[in-house]
Amino acid sequence: MDFVVLTIFPDMFDPFWNHGIIRRAIEQKKISASTINIRDYARDRHQVTDDKTYGGGSGMVMKPEPLAGAIRAATQKLPTAGSVLLTPQGKPFHQNMARELASFDGLVLICGRYEGVDERICHDLIDYEISIGDYVLTGGELAAMIIIDAVTRLIPGALGGENAAENDSFSNGLLEHAHYTRPQRYEGQEVPEVLLSGHHQEIERWRLESSLMRTLLKRPDLLQQKRLNQQEIIILDKWRNEIDKVLKFDHKKR
């Protein structure tokens, strides 16, 4: 996967490319990373990339020519890449979209600054408009990093262990199960015994139960959207029965 980022602040990406999984993915050539400075495509002497908004108002708008020039340069470099504009008006980003983007062989990420970009930047040049959430940032750069991060870890081999992203939260529509590591006893709390038992099947069943429990408590909306399989229904039914028993108990007698 080849990432090209269009930004007026390319230096913001230096620490991002140089740490952890992203750095290793670059070193192992699972991804390539580069930036294009939009300012380099401004043709006036002062290389201006923004201007006052027509109609009046306080905000500045990104000029169309430098941005279009930069997008064309990037898509020439990566003709089969998808192009993404980061904007609060875009489609909400989620794991399925990360999967879709991971299927491209390249991505051009366009970071706006100021109040927004001129409406006339040729929308034929942009495949996706994506928002990372309902809030306004000072620019699209952090949003681009978030997308690159989420996409990179889905690229085969990028996480080290084979298919390491397979059991992640959201991969099956549920939050991931609880995790424990050493020590076995920490501040009086023990690691659940089944995890030490070596019974692969029982461990899998415990993990599914943990996953379902956490999703029910923390993100019931995910559970409502999900198509449950037989085993999942059995586990949830068991809990329903447990709760029913508590509710049917005649508390006045106590």
Active site residues: 88, 115, 153, 168
- DSSP codes joined into one string, 218-239: H-HHHHHHS---HHHHHHHHHH
Q: How far is the CB of 49 from ligand 4F9 (least distance, A)?
A: 14
Q: Which of residues 151-210 bind ligand 4F9 (CB under 6 A)?
A: none
Q: How far is the CB of 11 from ligand 4F9 (least distance, A)?
A: 18
Distant-in-sequence, close-in-space partners of 42: CB < 8 Å, separation ≥ 6: 48, 49, 63, 65, 66
Contact flags string 67-86 toward ligand 4F9, x per CB under 6 A: -------------------x
Q: Alpha carbon of 4 to those of 109, 128, 206: distances in Å?
A: 6, 15, 43
Phi, psi dihedral angles at 154 (to 5 degrees) = -90, -10
Chosen residue from 132, 159, 165, 175 binding ligand 4F9 by CB under 6 A = 132
Residue 144 has which token pair?
């681009």
Total residues found in the chain within this entry: 254
Distant-in-sequence, close-in-space partners of 112: CB < 8 Å, separation ≥ 6: 62, 85, 86, 87, 139, 140
Chosen residue from 7, 49, 87, 211 binding ligand 4F9 by CB under 6 A = 87
Per CB under 6 A, does 143 bind ligand 4F9? yes
Q: How far is the CB of 25 from ligand 4F9 (least distance, A)?
A: 23
Per CB under 6 A, does 145 bind ligand 4F9? no
Q: How far is the CB of 8 from ligand 4F9 (least distance, A)?
A: 12
| Residues 240, 246: Cα–Cα separation, whole Å | 10
Per CB under 6 A, does 136 bind ligand 4F9? yes
| Residues 226, 232: Cα–Cα separation, whole Å | 11
Q: Which of residues 96-125 bind ligand 4F9 (CB under 6 A)?
A: 112
In this complex, which beta carbon is closest to ligand 4F9, that of residue 1 or of residue 144?
144
Q: Are strands 189-190 and 50-52 parallel, antiparallel or unpaired?
A: unpaired
Chosen residue from 68, 140, 165, 211 binding ligand 4F9 by CB under 6 A = 140
Q: How far is the CB of 113 from ligand 4F9 (least distance, A)?
A: 7
Contact residues for ligand 4F9 (CB under 6 A)?
A: 86-88, 112, 131-133, 136-137, 139-140, 143
